[in-house]
């Protein structure tokens, strides 16, 4: 989809964020066409310098944004930010509770400056007894029930990505889009708040509902009672793993026919799903023995031919060469800080049959300082003066 035709073209966003949840809001709005200005401290967002599991946060969630480095503790730096906010449609922030107010950038103060502003706060908790607590993705997963459901009994385990941070960002986007639609009618903006804890509970709501319906607590996923007889990982002849699901009676009949399981097909006690679930201790060992006679390369096309849900177990690094992602345009070309090139997942959305997979740049800290200030009406001499006095900074070549 060409940039001028993107759904949010013309929308102006100012982003005061770090880590994952807040930047995810800006990422999605930016990929949909908004101009996103990332306000960074002098020297750049500390997220840029994270190592280990945090090394991918900045390139994944801060692509397609403009970077302005400014000293917000100085009166002149604060005024620079206020000048940008005065002309913005959306502000995003995800700092600890009270931090934006202390800087003079609280929602109430900015509503007076720009009544049309939509102020999106990505926090640990929504309003309530916990709202002043700091939180991280892992905190929310532990206290929100997800870690309990993910690990084996007695060993709570966080999910293998920043799922709550990312989902919190997506709920922030939903709130922003709803507020934009409402602004069309009212002419005024409002505060939108998304939070880690509450969106984690939304994820485990199915397990809460299970308890409400059955009176029995949901068991952690590694020891859960499956709703289907075949819904498992199986070992192949070449010591690989493939997940296979057989979730309808029609799939069961097709599965039995394709793999010559005539005795299973003929047994009426297996004809309906609940009967098969009751016989898992018979069915699973037989299927495991069957699948262990095939290599992964032999098994996958047979499963696909009969229309079963199946999946080889992939590692994140395998997905750079996934044929579906490569051929469908599901990976966007990204220029990394420092000039390296890679491809990272595009928005998982199609509109009008097209993907949002434009080539993007992840900016150097301060890369757009001069152009942002010039667009805000600052003259060249004033920009050079602000740079010279350390009020703002630009990228060093």
Q: Which residues are catalytic?
A: 165
**The token pair that represents 66 in the structure block:** 């403009």
Q: CA-to-CA distance for 149 and 167, rounded, in angstroms?
A: 17
18, 95 Cβ separation under 8 angstroms: yes
The CA-CA-CA angle for residues 78, 80, 86, to 5°, reads 100
Residue 35 phi/psi, 5° resolution?
-85, 115
Q: Which residue has the tokens 């400056």?
A: 113
User: Percent helix, strand and coil across the chain, each rounded to 5?
Assistant: 45, 15, 40
**The token pair that represents 150 in the structure block:** 């993910």
Residue 31 phi/psi, 5° resolution?
-65, -25
Q: How many residues does the chain have?
A: 397
89, 13 Cβ separation under 8 angstroms: yes
Task: Calculate the alpha carbon distances from 192 to 90, 126, 128, 132, 134 in Å.
Answer: 10, 10, 15, 17, 18
Buried b / exposed e along 134-146 (16+ C-beta atoms within 10 A): ebbbbbbbbbbbb
**The token pair that represents 371 in the structure block:** 């152009």
In 3D space, the residue among 94, 91, 71 whose CA is nearest the CA of residue 23 turns out to be: 94
Written as one string, the DSSP assignment of 331-373 is EEEEEPTTS-EEEEEPPS-EETTEE----EE-PPTTTTHHHHH
Q: Which residues pair with 230 in a beta bridge?
A: 246
The CA-CA-CA angle for residues 369, 372, 375, to 5°, reads 145
DSSP 8-state class, residue 217? P
Q: How many CB atoms lie within 10 A of CB 291?
A: 21
Task: Calculate the alpha carbon distances from 93 to 16, 121, 180, 255, 291 in Å.
Answer: 5, 5, 17, 51, 51
């Amino acid at each position: 989809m060409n940039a001028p035709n993107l759904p949010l073209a013309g929308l102006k966003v100012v982003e005061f964020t770090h880590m994952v949840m807040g930047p995810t809001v800006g990422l999605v709005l930016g990929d949909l066409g908004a101009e996103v200005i990332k306000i960074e401290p002098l020297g750049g967002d500390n997220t840029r310098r994270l190592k280990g599991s945090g090394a991918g946060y900045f390139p994944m969630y801060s692509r397609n944004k403009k970077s302005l480095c400014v000293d917000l503790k100085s009166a002149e730096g604060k005024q620079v930010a206020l000048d940008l906010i005065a002309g913005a449609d959306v502000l995003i922030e995800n700092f600890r509770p009270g931090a934006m107010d202390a800087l003079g950038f609280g929602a109430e103060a900015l509503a007076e400056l720009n009544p049309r502003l939509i102020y999106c706060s990505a926090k640990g908790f929504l309003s309530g007894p916990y709202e002043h607590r700091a939180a991280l993705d892992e905190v929310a997963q532990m206290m929100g029930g997800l870690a309990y459901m993910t690990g084996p009994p007695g060993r709570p385990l966080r999910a293998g990505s920043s799922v709550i941070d990312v989902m919190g960002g997506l709920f922030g986007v939903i709130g922003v889009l709803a507020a934009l639609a409402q602004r069309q009618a009212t002419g005024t903006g409002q505060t939108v708040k998304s939070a880690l804890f509450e969106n984690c509970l939304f994820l485990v709501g199915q397990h809460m509902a299970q308890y409400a319906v059955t009176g029995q607590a949901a068991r952690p996923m590694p020891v859960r009672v499956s709703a289907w007889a075949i819904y498992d990982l199986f070992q192949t002849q070449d010591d690989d793993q493939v997940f296979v699901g057989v979730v309808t009676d029609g799939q069961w009949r097709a599965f039995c026919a394709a793999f010559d399981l005539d005795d299973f097909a003929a047994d009426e006690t297996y004809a309906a799903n609940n009967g098969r679930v009751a016989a898992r201790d018979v069915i699973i060992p037989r299927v495991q023995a069957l699948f262990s006679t095939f290599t992964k390369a032999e098994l996958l096309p047979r499963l696909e031919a009969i229309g079963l849900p199946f999946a080889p177990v992939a590692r994140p690094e395998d997905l750079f060469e996934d044929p579906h992602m490569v051929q469908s345009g599901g990976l966007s070309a990204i220029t990394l800080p420092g000039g390296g090139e890679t491809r990272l997942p595009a928005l998982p959305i199609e509109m009008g049959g097209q993907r949002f997979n434009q080539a993007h740049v992840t900016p150097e800290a301060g890369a757009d300082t001069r152009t942002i200030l010039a667009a805000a009406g600052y003259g060249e001499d004033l920009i050079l003066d602000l740079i010279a006095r350390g009020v703002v900074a630009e990228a060093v070549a």
